[in-house]
């Protein structure tokens, strides 16, 4: 597909190009680096997709007898698919990073259960104190009734 003169697609850094990274990136630097990698993948995907967008031109190429047009379309489609695969792999990697391991899930579940147990134990102790207060009040009331009955 012949590109109009002066309208070259935007060049973007390849997602496979290595970028300088500090030896021990801090979490904000790591997030920034991941964001830059994602943006590079998106830019590569966009750069590969842009030549494929003009529908009229693609229809004309399909009807064209020139094999070079077909080769251009196939090359752009292949570049687009490669960029899409890289972007998909990037997002799959992010998804895996976000998923907690089985050990982490179990630790979290255990801590939730321990917190629940602590809360319930405190509630039981509170109710036991209330019940002891009631027993004391009832014993005093019983003693008063017994004392009154003995007077009569």
Asked if residue 37 and residue 79 are part of one domain, the reply reads yes
User: Which stretch, 3-7, 11-15, 71-75, 111-115, has highest mean pLDDT?
Assistant: 111-115
Q: At which residue do the structure tokens 């003995």 appear?
A: 150
Whether 78 and 95 map to the same domain: the answer is yes
Q: Note whether 106 and 138 are same-domain residues.
A: yes
Percent of the chain with pLDDT over 70: 67
How many structural domains comprise the chain?
Answer: 2
Last residue of one domain, picked from the residues 99, 120, 138: 99
Whether residues 93 and 45 share a domain: the answer is yes
Which is more confidently placed, 119 or 11? 119
Stretch 35-40: mean pLDDT, rounded?
80
The answer on 87 and 110 residing in a single domain is no
pLDDT of residue 123: 97
Domain residue limits at 49: 9-99
Three-state SS letters, 105-143:
HHHHHHHHHHHHHHHHHHHHHHHHHHHHHHHHHHHHHHH
Statement to judge: residues 55 and 14 lie in one domain: yes
Mean pLDDT, the chain, rounded, equals 76
Most confident of 82-91, 100-109, 111-120: 111-120
47-103 pLDDT, tens digit per residue, is 776 666 555 555 554 555 556 666 777 787 788 888 888 888 888 887 777 777 889
**Angle (nearest 5°) at CA 84 between 2 and 55:** 35
135-150 pLDDT per residue, tens: 999 999 999 999 999 9
Query: Which residues contact residue 36 at a Cβ distance below 8 angstroms, ignoring those fewer than 6 apart?
Result: 19
Residues 64 and 122 in one domain: no
Q: Is the pTM of this model over 0.85?
A: no
């Amino acid at each position: 597909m012949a590109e109009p003169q002066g309208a070259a697609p935007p060049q973007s850094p390849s997602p496979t190009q290595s970028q300088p990274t500090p030896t021990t990136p801090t979490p904000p630097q790591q997030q920034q680096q991941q964001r830059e990698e994602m943006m590079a993948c998106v830019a590569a995907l966009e750069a590969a997709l842009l030549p494929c967008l003009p529908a009229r031109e693609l229809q004309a190429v399909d009807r064209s007898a020139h094999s070079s047009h077909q080769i251009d379309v196939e090359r752009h489609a292949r570049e687009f698919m490669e960029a899409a695969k890289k972007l998909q792999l990037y997002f799959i990697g992010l998804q895996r990073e976000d998923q907690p391991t089985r050990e982490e899930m179990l630790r979290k579940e255990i801590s939730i259960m321990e917190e629940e147990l602590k809360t319930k134990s405190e509630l039981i102790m509170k109710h036991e104190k209330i019940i002891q207060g009631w027993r004391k009040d009832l014993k005093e009331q019983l003693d008063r009734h017994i004392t009154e009955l003995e007077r009569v």
